[in-house]
Amino acid sequence: MENNTPEQNFAALGLTLPPAPVPLGVYKPCLIVDKTLITGRVGADLDADQGKLAARQVGLAILATVRGYLGSLDKVKRVIKTLGMVGCPHDFERHPYVINGCSELFAQVWGPDNGVGVRSAVGMGSLPGNIPVEIEVLFELY
């Protein structure tokens, strides 16, 4: 994997990117959460494993957005910071596990050095549209 490009790593995963989300307000497109039909609060409507899969889906939407705007995942040098927000009840405590769904995907695409940056994983009482996960990522570009 070390000699492969991020695009080659992604292709080897056998995954398909969803369409890049379209902004629904005044904000930068690369901060968009994907528009799947996954809804509900982790720890109430979804278990932690379902939340982790939702975070992976958000990661795929982020990859689609990056590729859509930059033309290639190869233009990303590394992940700098990930902020993962989990919609959940106040007593849910597995936020890092849930956000690993996205972080593990990025590590597979850009490798363990460039695909893993600093990270925060926090719980929120609610998220827009009752989505279970919202993720913001800062990338360093070539």
Structural domains of the chain in order of their starting residue, each with its CATH number: 6-13+38-141 (3.30.1330.40)
Residue 3 has what pLDDT? 80
For CA atoms 11, 103, 51, 85, give the dihedral sign. negative
Q: What is the pTM of this model?
A: 0.79
Cα–Cα distance for residue pair 40/109, rounded to 1 Å = 28
Residue 31 has what pLDDT? 42
Residue 33 has what pLDDT? 43
Q: Which two tokens stand for residue 30?
A: 């690369």
Q: Which two tokens stand for residue 35?
A: 């528009």
Residue 54 has what pLDDT? 95
Residue 10 class from Cβ within 10 Å (0-12 exposed, 13-18 middle, 19+ buried)? Answer: buried
Residue 38 has what pLDDT? 86
Q: Which two tokens stand for residue 106?
A: 């990025």
pLDDT beneath 50, residues of the chain: 31-33
pLDDT in tens, 38-79: 899 999 999 999 999 999 999 999 999 999 889 999 999 999
Residue 18 has what pLDDT? 80
